A and B are shown apart, each in its own frame.
Chain A
Amino acid sequence: MTAEVYPAADGLVQRAAAAFTASVPESPADDGYFGPGSATWRLNGDLSAPVAGLRSLLVQALHPLAMAGVDQHSDWRADPAGRLASTAAYLATITYGDRGAALRAANRVRKIHERVRGTDQVTGQPYAAGDPDLLVWVHAGLVDSVLAAAELYGTPPTAAEKDAYLAEMTAAAELVGVPAGRAPATAAELDDYLAAVRPVLTLTPAAAESTAYLLNLPGLEDEMGGMWRDIGDAAVAALPEWAACMYGLLPQQPVTEQRREEVRQLLGVLDALYLGEPGVLEARQRIELRMRQARRG
């Protein structure tokens, strides 16, 4: 990919910011599927969110059928910034939007999923993006990553907050078609699920190639490229050991306090950058005000 296809960093930050701003309603019809008092509002807006996003993709890519669907149907490489921004916008809409907006966004995703079906070249298995197994996998990759990134680099969730988050987020899974009761609803269920699914996982050539591409996005201007790779390093360091092994990494060093501080500082700079985009501060304030109001009772 070249710089023309991926027109530098402004695409990434600006488009993500514009999408985020549009996702946080000025006059919500209701509190959406989670509400301002939820663990979901807090954790999906954590400082560590960029790391969580990259880690999610790294984890999700390890399921060969999920990967095949992306590889064979998505044109993400033509416009990675657009794809990342729209994924972030989807999550923001589901989280902070009212029920109507969340439902509309989820239905758009379901519609796209209908077309995503085929046969994986590696395993020879047929796949369909709407397959609940795959949807659960993608969901698990996300929620596990949000919790892991917040734990390492953000405001660490308490055990109760983790369970609350997982229970709440099953609503997000159901929105895209996971049958009720299938998505892990507690930390213990999530661990069990991840252990059970492991035999299916493998690093296919498509996954290896896609994630390497993602972590070293070509065409980023020098300055943004450095930042992007640092976020990538932080995401890699947050991978579970089994995932790191599958990627051919030696066991990860534990994240030291100094390292955590450095990553947080970098995330802070990125956040400042994001805040500089039109409307982001106001959208943040809308969220903060509603969360405060919810806490007051």
Chain B
Amino acid sequence: MDGVLPSAMPADKTAPVADRAAPVKATPGTTGTRTPGRLRLSRGLAAVRLAARGGARYATNAPRLFVAAGEQRQQLRNDLALRTAEDVAATLGTMKGVLMKIGQMASYVDDGLAPPVRRTLSRLQDSVPPMSAELAAGVVEDELGGPPDEVFATWDAEPIAAASIGQVHRAITRDGRAVAVKVQYPGIAKTIAADLGNVALLRSLLRVAAPNQDVNALIEELRDRITEELDYHREAANQRMFADYYDGHPTIHVPRVIDELCTARVFTSELATGARFAELLSWPQGEKDLAAETIYRFTFRSLYEAHAFNGDPHPGNYLFNRGGLVTFLDFGLVKYFTAEELKPLVHMVRYLCVDEDPEAFRRAMEDADFLARGAPLPTEQIIEHMALFYDTVRTPGTRTMTAGYASAVARRYFDFRNPLAAYARIPRSYVILQRINLGMFALLGDLGATGNWRAVAEEIWPFVKAPPSTPMGEAEVAWLARRPARTESLSGR
């Protein structure tokens, strides 16, 4: 089951537009018609789009910091480090942290964000310097009760990566384990909470960043995401569950959480090594296919068996080793489903791809509230529209994922001229699943991955449970047999 979602969530047309306060005194030709009331909607990101439209003109001139800065650039960046909580607020406050998050969310949406807007938002990400060694050490000390040099046997003060609201340091624990320690920017929670309160501005930003989506649902999601992300306990719990679940898996690796070194603002896990996505792209196609198979199996086994979906298929969240070995990082964004929530999705894929029963498929869509009951559309039109989402698993055989397919899926997803759009919606609990269509397909498309996706899916589909179709599938069977008996679902914990 690829396409778990119907297309075209309704555009949020009913959202109230903030009122302008009535004029105090309407004196024609003067400024007297103006009065400070609540701010009207400011379509900030649309302005980003407008501004970015001509930005390409300059894009070829790589801007210089200083003449001949060259290799000193890293040093200069360090010189710009955030040293105080006030620096953090100045850099990530006044909506900037929230904008970055919107950019991250919207970056999954292929056609939902014009490339110039994406560039602008990634520029914003670039604008955040790392914390100074002292500021990061201060957070570790506040959270873990001692300076990093005491809490850890070895602490690398130079961060190895930026996280959306923090940065990652390497360290070795006192019992000798190599770990990655994510340290949150101090004061960020307060800064971002204030910005999340400005719903009118958020609404207008999201309407532009993710046009045609249900803005209210997105605001809810954005707030939930950020709130969750601010508390690293949540991420630690997610990652612990995934690490337990995939313990011993032949190709899926989830780094272990180091519980005693985790708090709300510091998150410590095993240090994993491997190639980044960009490097994987230069590997032989066979390696890319294996990596894709692992990601595919991880996504759908997690969903169908563990009832959990890691909604962050960002290329930066994987590390790759030869033979299809993939390390999955960043479990800040996990959605758990109840069996009830999952059932209609299972029914849909079953009726469309296995039972080939269009009317049952339509009823399953209606049961899940994806499609209004009694929509005046012939079932075959619905099938024709929806089939694209299931294209890679609807018929047996080997298929190559392409960027073209990924963007066709995204285009159809956002095709609001389609008559179906008026009757389709995505209930909030499924919103995050759009990332299967829009994120994972984009990733596999970039890899140009070839596989018999239908056969792999049949291994995992709970109503088929087919025997292994690939060597990786064989290895999974052996892993499943070794695994201690367990309740399969992670949800409800």
Stretch at the interface among B91-99, B250-258, B264-272: B91-99
B-contact 0/1 string along A216-234, CB 8 Å cutoff: 0000011110110110111
The answer on a CB contact under 8 Å between B94 and A271 is yes
- Known A248-B27, A286-B65: A233·B96 in contact at CB below 8 Å: no
In the bound complex, residues from chain B placing their C-beta under 8 Å from that of A209 are: 29
The answer on a CB contact under 8 Å between B30 and A208 is yes
In the bound complex, residues from chain B placing their C-beta under 8 Å from that of A223 are: 42-47, 49-50, 208
The answer on a CB contact under 8 Å between B30 and A14 is no
In the bound complex, residues from chain B placing their C-beta under 8 Å from that of A13 are: 47, 50-51
B123 touches which of A255, A268, A276 (Cβ 8 Å): A276
The answer on a CB contact under 8 Å between B58 and A269 is no
Q: Is B53 an interface residue (CB 8 A)?
A: yes
A281 touches which of B36, B55, B99, B123 (Cβ 8 Å): B123
A249 touches which of B35, B76, B204 (Cβ 8 Å): B35
B44 touches which of A215, A262, A270 (Cβ 8 Å): A270
Stretch at the interface among B135-143, B194-202, B280-288: B194-202
B-contact 0/1 string along A273-292, CB 8 Å cutoff: 10111110111111011001
What distance in Å separates the Cβ of B132 from its nearest Cβ neighbour in chain A?
11
- Known A226-B40, A282-B65, A286-B65: A14·B34 in contact at CB below 8 Å: no
In the bound complex, residues from chain B placing their C-beta under 8 Å from that of A237 are: 36
In the bound complex, residues from chain A placing their C-beta under 8 Å from that of B59 are: 278
What distance in Å separates the Cβ of A252 from its nearest Cβ neighbour in chain B?
7
Number of interface residues of B (CB under 8 A): 60
The answer on a CB contact under 8 Å between B201 and A262 is yes
The answer on a CB contact under 8 Å between A27 and B50 is no
In the bound complex, residues from chain A placing their C-beta under 8 Å from that of B24 are: 249-250
Label chain A's interface by main secondary structure.
helix
Q: Is B32 an interface residue (CB 8 A)?
A: yes
The answer on a CB contact under 8 Å between A273 and B55 is no
B-contact 0/1 string along A168-206, CB 8 Å cutoff: 000000000000000000000000000000000001010
CA separation between A221 and B25, bound complex, in Å?
27
Number of interface residues of A (CB under 8 A): 66
Q: Is B48 an interface residue (CB 8 A)?
A: yes
The 10 closest A-B pairs by CB, nearest first: A268-B94, A223-B46, A276-B120, A223-B43, A269-B44, A248-B32, A279-B63, A278-B58, A268-B95, A237-B36
In the bound complex, residues from chain B placing their C-beta under 8 Å from that of A58 are: 31
Please, which residue of chain B has its CB at the minimum distance from the CB of A233? B36
CA separation between A286 and B79, bound complex, in Å?
11
Q: Is B378 an interface residue (CB 8 A)?
A: no
Among B30, B41, B126, chain A packs the most CB atoms within 10 A around the CB of B30
In the bound complex, residues from chain A placing their C-beta under 8 Å from that of B99 are: 268-269, 272
